[in-house]
Homo-oligomer: A and B are copies of this chain.
Amino acid sequence: MSETQAVFQNRTPPKPMPHDLALRSRAARVIPGGMWGHMSAKRLPPAFPQFFKSAEGTRLTDVDGNTYIDFMCAYGPMILGYNDPDVESAVNAQQVRMGIANGPGEAMVDLAELMVEMIPAADWAMFAKNGTDATTACVSIARAATKKRKILVATGAYHGAVPWCTPWPGGVVAEDRAHLICYAYNDVASLEAAAEEAGNDLAGIIASAFRHDARVDQEMPTSQFAGAVRAMADRNNAVLILDDVRAGFRLNLGGSWEPLGVQPDLSAWSKALGNGHPIAAITGREWLREAVQNVYVTGSFWYAAAPMVAAMTTLQKLRRLDAVTHMARLGQKLRDGIADQAATHGIGIRQTGPAQMPLVLFDNDDELEKGYLFTTTALEHGVYLHPWHNMFLSAAHNTEDIDRALEGTNAGFKAVADVCG
């Protein structure tokens, strides 16, 4: 145990969380490892709760009754606040009329029309449930449209959790990735090398809205990079796929690369689209309309009307509130406050990515000891931050939330300074 670890362990009082621990113990018997995937608390410091019991606005309450100002937004889906009254009342009205049926309701057409109107690169839309459904369909559509096979993917990028893209090797065979070629995000030379390797078999290039890989500094796409991706796709009659699953509707309602003036051929959406209701979408340009019809994708719940009504309500409300500006402004206020606190405490940190999807990493913190201490202390002060995954602002956050959050972060920096200063 390192000195920092020892101090950290001695310092952190065992927060009483009897209900959480009891549920973890029950879960350990009936769920492998007690939990799986991105919401496993094993990925977080020990004081973080695994189970929650209520959610309202920007507040989450765990099963032991601790309430937090939340800056994870359920890892992205929450964008208008938990239990948003407009979304929930629209969903309830739809659900009473019709949940599922032998076909969709009018809401599907309404939502497709709205997305085609709002998103300049969208000439059509279709819907699914998971972000992974959308990214996987985009790859299939690119291959069907071009009758080519190679897909360029940024090293370390997360595009979902099926064998072609899941970040762990378990259960993956080599063939699942036979036609993927890696490039480095924002690195045009590496992109060109990857394209050269693909030769005349280049079907598509997939890129995240920005580099939001876990545990490393985030990077906004440079104009040069986005332009090079677009030009390369054009030059090779290949498909530019923008993975806007995580960032979608937080950076720009028309698509995250709109400010760069670069339009993708296909976009994958999910997360925030329905303010937590399960929906994903694929939008694309006219020239791909025929090819889409040769790709068979479907799912039992993909035609359900309620999540489409949720998405309609969410998009319209985001537009009405000018929510992107609001989230960016409050994110910047949080970022500025954190930067001031870090300077005051003499602690080196890096804040990267868009302000509304912040990531805070500490200098000289490969083992995340500082990050764990910082977020654990903030949690004890009622502020739910993440030590190594990008966080999320929402339209429901207000300046008071940011002020309260900054009290938590200040306590966090003080704790880090006490141990490491």
Q: A interface vs B, CB < 8 Å? A: 23, 26-27, 29-33, 35-39, 41, 49-55, 60, 63, 70, 72, 74-78, 82-83, 88, 92, 95-106, 108-109, 112-113, 115-116, 124-126, 129-133, 136, 139-144, 149, 161-164, 166-168, 170-173, 175-176, 178-179, 245, 270-271, 276-278, 288-304, 307, 384
Contact = CB atoms under 8 A, between A and B. Distances in A.
A98 B172 CA distance: 35
A129 B130 contact: yes
Given A38-B298, A171-B143, A297-B37, A60 B99 contact: no
Contact of A101 (B30, B60, B292): B60
A296 B30 contact: no
Contact of A36 (B49, B166, B288, B292): B292
A354 B261 CA distance: 57
B172 A175 contact: no
A23 B171 contact: no
Given A33-B293, A36-B298, A149-B173, 9 more contacts: A23-B106, A31-B126, A37-B302, A51-B108, A74-B101, A75-B300, A143-B172, A162-B297, A170-B296
A163 to B, nearest CB: 6
A53 B173 contact: no
Contacts of A92: 92
Given A277-B99, A292-B33, A295-B170, A105 B74 contact: no
A55 B301 contact: no
A26 to B, nearest CB: 5
A276 B100 contact: yes
24 contacts: A27-B108, A30-B109, A30-B113, A30-B124, A32-B289, A32-B293, A36-B296, A39-B102, A51-B109, A52-B105, A54-B98, A55-B98, A63-B105, A83-B99, A129-B278, A130-B300, A136-B162, A143-B172, A149-B173, A161-B298, A162-B297, A166-B295, A271-B300, A278-B307
Nearest to A37: B298
B103 A52 contact: yes
Contacts of A52: 98, 101-105
Contacts of A95: 83, 88
Contact of A105 (B53, B161, B171, B288): B53
Among A100, A142, A295, chain B packs the most CB atoms within 10 A around the CB of A100
B99 A301 contact: no
B103 A31 contact: no
Contact of A53 (B97, B301, B302): B97
A139 to B, nearest CB: 7
Given A37-B296, A167-B296, A74 B100 contact: yes
Nearest to A101: B52
Given A75-B102, A77-B300, A143-B173, A112 B295 contact: no
